[in-house]
Amino acid sequence: MGKLDRKVAIITGGASGIGECMVDLFAQEGAIVIAADINEAALERASQKTNVHGMKLNVASDEDWQALAKEVSERFGKIDILVNNAGISSEKPFAETDAQDWQKMLSINGFGPFAGMKHVAPYMAARNKGSIVNISSYTALIGQGFNPYSASKGAVRALSKAAATTFGRQGVRVNAIFPGIVETPMTQALSTSKDLLGRLIQATPLQRLGQAIDIAQAALFLASDDSSYITGSELVVDGGYSAQ
Ligand SMILES: NC(=O)c1ccc[n+]([C@@H]2O[C@H](COP(=O)([O-])OP(=O)(O)OC[C@H]3O[C@@H](n4cnc5c(N)ncnc54)[C@H](O)[C@@H]3O)[C@@H](O)[C@H]2O)c1
């Protein structure tokens, strides 16, 4: 028996990197998984997997969220799990970051999880049961120079705690995960510099970079009933990087 048997899970950003790994793991554990992503071409690949349904979603669109939550609930009868994982990053220096960059970052990384919870949590609350996992970042915990990105992930941190208190009495749990540097398409640029890669590994107490499965396993725990008394928590999965 899987840890998520017969549960219906929406995973945003499910077409790449950490999200794709979560989609595979959750499906292996018995869930019906909706891989929601803006990248339609990549979603076609996801849709070919057993128990996985690719659905187009721009997390920055309130209308998209409203439609997705309704469709999933009508088609599958319920929504048990939401993982707000979709996100973008930017390495633009502070001085070159303009208002448009800021708005884009905050609308995808900040408004996305807010709108997701706003439109999905009521379906969970109606059944008095649900688990929401928001993917923040270690950059919300320590200064790393990724200014708007860190700010957006700080928003996810605070929002997760606030939502845990908002939805707890309706049976809906909300927790956040703080990944360290994980090898995915988002961090591909790192692998082109052996020097930088070496320095990052050296600076990590567990002496390696994160893999998508490290984050997916943490999300599985928080999504499943194994964590039924946990809400408002912050799970750091970074090999000890931010503990220093
Ligand atoms: N990789 C890391 O080192 C790392 C570290 C900390 C936190 N994170 C966070 O983990 C999450 C996943 O990152 P990843 O490394 O797998 O990145 P990734 O770039 O491999 O995947 C991100 C996915 O999000 C989707 N996406 C982007 N904008 C979207 C939008 N507007 N609507 C819907 N989908 C959209 C992309 O199409 C892609 O499939 C992100 O929130 C990221 O900030 C990553």
Residue 232 burial by Cβ neighbours in a 10 Å radius (0-12, 13-18, 19+): middle
Residue 84, CA distances (Å) to 36, 40, 87 in order? 10, 18, 9
Cβ of 38 closer than 6 Å to ligand 1, yes or no, is yes
Q: For residue 108, which atom of ligand 1 is closest to its CA? A: 31
**Annotated active-site residue in 123, 138, 149, 241:** 149
pLDDT tens for each residue of 84-131: 999 999 988 999 999 999 999 999 999 999 999 999 999 999 999 999
State the distance from the centre of ligand 1 to the C-alpha of 195, rounded, in angstroms.
24
| 40, pLDDT greater than 90 | yes
Q: Which residue is associated with the tokens 């187009």?
A: 56
Cβ of 239 closer than 6 Å to ligand 1, yes or no, is no
pLDDT tens for each residue of 170-213: 999 999 999 999 999 988 877 777 888 899 999 999 999 999 99
Residue 73, CA distances (Å) to 5, 10, 31, 53, 70 in order? 17, 11, 15, 13, 5
User: What is the per-residue pLDDT for 144?
Assistant: 83
State the distance from the centre of ligand 1 to the C-alpha of 169, rounded, in angstroms.
30
Residue 157, C-beta contacts closer than 8 angstroms, at least 6 positions apart: 136, 140, 141, 176, 178, 234
241 is catalytic: no
0.85 surpassed by pTM: yes
Task: Sketch out the chain's domains with CATH numbers.
Answer: 8-238 (3.40.50.720)
